[in-house]
Each structure stands twice: as C-alpha cells, then as structure tokens.
Amino acid sequence: MRRSNRPSMGANVVAAWVGVAGVTLAQPERPPPVTVEAPAERTARATRADLARAYLRLERALSSHAPGPDEIPAINRRFDQASVAFFSGQYGSAIKTLGEMTASLLGEPDDAPTRAARSLAVRVTAVVDGGTSARVRSMHALGEPYSGPLELRLIGPDGPPPRSVRFTVETKGSTPIDAQVPLKELLEGRSPGTYTLSVAVPGGTSFEAARVSLMPPTAPRRASLESRLAAVPEGDAVAARAREIARARVGLLTDEPSPTNSAQFLADMHALADDLEREIAAVERGENPYARLAGDHWRVIPVAGAMVPCRVFAPASALAGNARPPLVVAFHGAGGDESMFFEGYGGGKIKDLADRHGFVCAAPLTYSGSSPAAFDALIDHMAEDFGIDRGRAYVLGHSMGAGAVTSLVSRRHGSIAGAACLAGGGAVRGPIPPMMVVLAELDPIVPPARVRRSFEEAARADLPVTIVEAEGWGHTLVVGEYLPRVVDFLLGHRLTPLEGGE
C-alpha cells in the first residue's frame, strides 16, 4: 500500500524532535564558555517545526496572558500578516513576527540578548565517534549587532535540574549568528530518553529550540519490528488493519526525524519504540492493540490502497464500560496537517473539549482524508475500534477544511449529525445536517464576504444554517476562541432513526 501524499507546505504544529544515537559523553561541573565568531552572513532555513514552535509558544502566551478586548483585533491582524508571510514561504519573517507578539504578551525584555536568543534555530547532529554538537543559527536577520553570552540548556523528561553550556557569539553589523556548540558536557551520564534543548539568555528568558533523543540507533530495532510484522499470519479485516497501522507506526522510527513531517518531528522516538514492542506483541497474539486505546495516538486509515495519516484522541472517560461516545472529525486548513487540531488552534483546545464532553476526536490529513470514501472508512474504523455512536458523528473544519466540510455534508448527510465551518466554506445544497458557520470579521485570507452569500442563500432556502459573526477575530486565532461554542452546537444534535443513506 502507498502512503497518502503529504504536501510540502508548512504546518503550524509543535516543537521539533531530533534523534541522537547512543551518546556517552563527559560533564565538567561548570563547562568553560565557547567563543564563536559568526561567519559570512546567512540565516538558517527555517522549517515547519521551527514555525510550529513559534506558533505554539504564542498560543500558550495567549492562554496564560489573555489579551483584553481592545487588544484582540490588533493581535489578529498581526497574526494574519504572519500567516501571509508563511503562505508565501517567508518562514523566517513569520517566525520573527510570532516571536515579537509572544514577547509583548509575556512582557519579555526587549533587549539585544533576548532578541538574539529568540532568533535562533538549533540543529543537532550525531557524530560517529560519540561526540555531539549543535549548530545554532539565526532564522532571520538580527537587524543589529550582538556580542555576548548565550546558553544552551538541556532539560530532562523526569525533571532533573537543567544543565547548561554557555557560548559567546560575536557578530559584525547585522550578520546573523552561526555557531557550532559542543554538547558533550550536557549529555554525559544522561539516561536514555527525550530531552529538551533551549536557547537562553544567562539568567533570563529561554526559548525551546529542539528535542534530543538519547537512544541506540533505531534502524536495527525498526528492522526487527518489521520482520515480526511480516511473520504474522493473515487474519480477518480487523487484524489486517491493525497490522497496517502498526507497520505505518514502525515507519516513523528514525534517527533523523523529518522537519516537514509532524508525525516524526512530534514523536518521542524512545517512547514510540517501547509502545511498538507492546503493540506488535498484541498483533502477534491476534489482538487489536488500537481497540479502545485511550489517549492521543497517530495512525493511518487505509483507503483504496492508500494510507491517510490521522491523529486520534480518545479520553479514558469516554471509553468506560460499554460507552458509545460521540465522534468529532476535524479537518485542518491549508498548510496544516493531521496534528494541527491537536497541537494548535488554541494549543490543542479540542482535546480539552473532548475530555470535558466525552467524545472521540479524529483529525485526518485533509488533503486525502476528506473524500466520501475516506470519511466512510474513518467512520467504520472508529466504530470498530472505539464503539462510537454512529448517530452522533460530527464534522468541523477550518479554512480549506471548512471547504471540505461543505463538500462532504451534502454527500454524506445521512452519516453526519452536525457540521461546522470556521473561516471558510463553500456552496451547500440540501439536504444537509444542522450547520454552524463562523465568519471572522478581520479575515484577510478568506474574507467573510466571500463565503457569507452562499450560507445566507442556504439559510433562505430553509437549510439548517446558523451564521455567527466573530467580531475582532482573524483567520486562524478565531478557531481556538470559538471551538467551545462550535462543540456545544454540534453535540446538541443527533441523527434520527429515519435518517440515512447518501
């Protein structure tokens, strides 16, 4: 089977993950500073993971330091300017804007050291002899010279005191920083696991820049897991699907996670490898390890010979006993991927709502996961694995995902109890399920006037469309703000026994 194509556009998802194979290194009590003079002017090529990190930091700042009503329009306008830069491929510019917005919300120092630290990307490479270094580079021009100390900090998964190594950068004019920083002192004696690397101003603000996994090379373990799966006898359709999911998850194991594929750069390779040992052992016993699986996991949905990537979140409370939970299917917008709703859009607010209301949430890759055939397969698989209530299956989408929703509801109205479109959509023809449409007043990417007419025409035709005007909100930040209202609307509807068919 082939894996459904993933677009190369950026995705607003969470922090980068970088794997490092088996490291045994040294740690003096206080490592000496390393002084590096920046070479010729150049900046790091910012990645989807870098952009995701900046975006998620802003989302957390918005949650912890909620702006006042008078500030919301300006914040939305500036965020959408960053979105336009992102869509035009100017990742560094978008990251710079997001960083400045976050600094303003958090009241961070507006000084040269903080701006320099915030500008940096960290690229970690594993060296054959066991020595490991990080390349630290600016993602955009600094606009001013900076000469002075910065730190790389390593924070462990079990919360031990962070270790740090100080390095001094000397720039000329506005030349971006480009430093090679040895990590030997940071990593020595650390047990296997996943660690966070942050760039920090000594005694000041720190910025998460990468994650490092200390573990043996993944290739031998991946080969062993693949061999075990290949030896599993053929079974029924459910067993075959479990094998395909496990095989796709094994395919995520790598020493060099792709910075363009969130399924890899979000993964904790150390934990993933251990999870796969348990999952494949279950498959070998003829069991489905993904049935009633509580929590958040990545899987694939086999559709017509292709594999559609999908994130699934099932709260434990929704799976208790013989519960038949509702299902919410969430379609991301252009430039995103299957991780967008679980990591972005209010910092993964949809997972909080699933916990609160007791529904299962599935977020497929919109590009290949929003066709009627893919939707049918998704519903069937969620029913088989989680026992969902087919009379309470809902769809929502943002931007391009909203367009997918309007296309889907007319063709699968007998399978959808309610639908919602945020900052997007298209023409709808009845019959359709009850639908909420959220139009963002300040949206420069999908201006409300572009889609309002279609939905007003649908309402005049007595189709069950509810239009909500989101005053002061822009294209993307509107999603996290209005998700609670959208979910309340969806869960208030269900299919009647007489409904069905296409």
Cα–Cα distance measured from residue 440 to residue 295, given in angstroms and rounded to the nearest whole number: 32
How many CA atoms lie less than 13 Å away from 175 in the CB half-sphere?
A: 14
Contact 379, 415 (CB under 8 A): yes
Cα–Cα distance measured from residue 291 to residue 324, given in angstroms and rounded to the nearest whole number: 13
Indicate if 323 and 174 belong to the same structural domain. no
pLDDT at 129 (0 to 100):
33
pLDDT in tens, 276-289: 999 999 999 999 99
φ, ψ of residue 423 to 5 degrees: the values are 55, 50
pLDDT at 424 (0 to 100):
96
Residue 325 lies in a domain: yes
Please state, as a whole number, how many other Cβ atoms lie within 10 Å of the Cβ of residue 262: 30
Indicate if 199 and 334 belong to the same structural domain. no
Residue 378 lies in a domain: yes
pLDDT at 175 (0 to 100):
74
Which residues of the chain carry a pLDDT beneath 50? 1-3, 5, 7-41, 126-130, 500-502
pLDDT at 171 (0 to 100):
77
pLDDT at 68 (0 to 100):
93
End residue of a domain, out of 200, 215, 230:
215
Indicate if 319 and 435 belong to the same structural domain. yes
**Which CATH number fits the domain that encloses residue 341?**
3.40.50.1820
Indicate if 458 and 312 belong to the same structural domain. yes
Total residues belonging to the chain: 502
Residue 434 lies in a domain: yes
Q: Residue 19: which residues within 8 A CB-CB, separation 6 or more? A: 126, 212, 213, 215, 218, 254, 255, 256, 257, 269
Residue 71 lies in a domain: yes
- Give how far the C-alpha of residue 472 lies from the chain's centroid of Cα atoms, to the nearest Å: 25
Residue 275 lies in a domain: no
How many structural domains is the chain composed of? 2
Indicate if 312 and 175 belong to the same structural domain. no
pTM of the model: 0.88
Phi-psi label, residue 189: left if phi above 0, alpha if psi -120 to 50, beta otherwise: left
Cα–Cα distance measured from residue 204 to residue 459, given in angstroms and rounded to the nearest whole number: 55
pLDDT at 173 (0 to 100):
64
pLDDT in tens, 386-397: 999 999 999 999
How many CA atoms lie less than 13 Å away from 446 in the CB half-sphere?
A: 23
By three-state DSSP, how is residue 314 classified?
strand
Indicate if 338 and 192 belong to the same structural domain. no
Indicate if 204 and 352 belong to the same structural domain. no
Instruction: Give residue 317's domain range.
Output: 290-491
End residue of a domain, out of 197, 215, 233:
215
Q: At what angle do helices 237-250 and 269-284 cross, to 10 degrees?
A: 160
Report cis status (omega within 30 of 0) of the bond before 431: yes
Question: Which amino acid would we find at residue 349?
Answer: K
Burial state string for 151-176 with b = 16 or more CB within 10 A and e = fewer than 16: bbbbbbbeeeebbbbbbebebeeebb
End residue of a domain, out of 215, 230, 254:
215
Residue identified by tokens 């055939």 is 373
pLDDT at 174 (0 to 100):
66
Kind plus residue range of the DSSP H or E element containing 255: none
pLDDT at 139 (0 to 100):
92
Residue 502 lies in a domain: no
Give the closest residue to 426 by CA, choosing from 443, 450, 442. Answer: 450
